[in-house]
Amino acid sequence: MSEGSKGSLLAFGQVVIGPPGSGKTTYCHGMQEFMGRIGRKVTVVNLDPANEAMPYQCAVDIAELITLPDVMENLKLGPNGGLIYCMEYLEANFDWLQEKLAAFRGHYYLFDCPGQVELYTHHDALKNIFAQLAKWNFRLAAVHLVDSHYCTDPGKFISVLCTSLSTMLHVELPHVNILSKMDLIEQYGKLAFNLDYYTEVLDLSYLVDHLASDPFFRNYRRLNEKLVEVIEDYSLVSFVPLNVQDKESMRQVMQAVDKANGYSFGDQEHRSLEALMSAAVGADFHFTSTLAVQEKYVQSQDRAVEEEVMDL
């Protein structure tokens, strides 16, 4: 993977980004297992120096180069400053990363990245690392995970939309936004609109109107309208729902990412995927689309109402 060598083999992969607690490590573990079962050679690269408990098989670990606890102790930095220093240190040691990745040529790469939002919205270290990978003939897509519980709070959802848009513009990679933990959404509370309203980011004026019904947000209506205008003017943000426990949901995400980074799987892999999905239909197949997720959510809400009525 020598820099600038046009004849070298292309490498495909995903950079998995998102705020803390959004499920990045769980996603990498699930996607590694899912792709492995269809015959794809997958290498997981941990770029999070604060990631100590990794459930997946980690082939390349930034902890061999630098760790967050060491930086915080030796340089007297807090966790945010320490993470930024670690990324800048990795940027200054590209040769270490290149040597480690060269041992896994022909593999599909999953890069598990830190959860500090600043690294994706305005700091350049990770952006420069991704650009360097592109020079090494990596074809990457950014997979941006957002916890689906933000859908239950209109104010937080607008904030998530702004963060997602800022990340897309700053990182400068093909981008797939993911609403993670969809299997838990019924536990987070009642949605104001159908799920497709949030995944497709439909007419956001309804969201502003809904916020205005809250006395606290009524005074900020003009600000919310301007934020929504920015999001709608770019018309870039949409989401793919994900339940990492569901094979069909994982397949939809995988195909969205493959389309984004240009990966095209071969006939053998296609047959393996078909066999895996046919087994999923008979075993643990839950839902196949946003509509099905919404239906499951509505049913859980109906059951909750019925239980309340019975208690009365």
Segments making up each domain of the chain, as ranges: 11-201+237-306
Burial of 75 (0-12, 13-18, 19+ CB in 10 A): exposed
Return the closest-CA partner of residue 172 out of 132, 220, 127, 221.
127
Say if residue 283's pLDDT is above 50: no
Q: Residue 110 pairs with which residues in a beta bridge?
A: 14, 44
Long-range contacts of 150-155 (CB under 8 A, 24+ apart): 151/179, 151/185, 151/188, 151/191, 151/195, 151/198, 152/185, 152/188, 152/189, 152/190, 152/191, 154/192, 154/207, 154/210, 154/211, 155/211, 155/217
Residue linked to tokens 């939809």 = 252
pLDDT value at 7 more than 50: no
What mean pLDDT do residues 275-299 have? Answer: 53
Are 229 and 158 spatial neighbours (Cβ–Cβ below 8 Å)? no
pLDDT at 285: 38
Token pair recorded at residue 8:
């070298």
End-to-end CA distance of the chain: give it in Å, rounded.
68
Per-residue pLDDT of 159-170, as tens digits, reads 999 999 999 999
Q: State the architecture of 11-201+237-306 in CATH terms.
A: 3-Layer(aba) Sandwich (3.40)
Instruction: Supply the pTM of this predicted model.
Output: 0.84
Whether the pLDDT of residue 5 is over 50: the answer is no
Distance CA 210, CA 218 (A): 10
What pLDDT does residue 299 have?
60
Q: How confident is the model at residue 292 (pLDDT cuts 50, 70, 90)?
A: low
Q: What is the pLDDT of residue 237?
A: 94
pLDDT at 45 over 50: yes
69 or 188: which carries more pLDDT confidence? 69
The per-residue pLDDT for range 92-142, each reduced to its tens digit, is: 999 999 999 999 999 999 999 999 999 999 999 999 999 999 999 999 999
Per-residue pLDDT band for 52 (boundaries 50, 70, 90) equals: confident
pLDDT level of residue 250 (50, 70, 90 thresholds):
very high
Chain segment 215-247, per-residue pLDDT in tens: 888 888 999 999 999 999 999 999 999 999 899
Mean pLDDT calculated for residue range 71-97? 96
Q: What is the pLDDT of the chain when averaged over all its residues?
A: 86
Higher pLDDT, residue 8 or 235: 235
Radius of gyration of the CA atoms of the chain, in A? 21
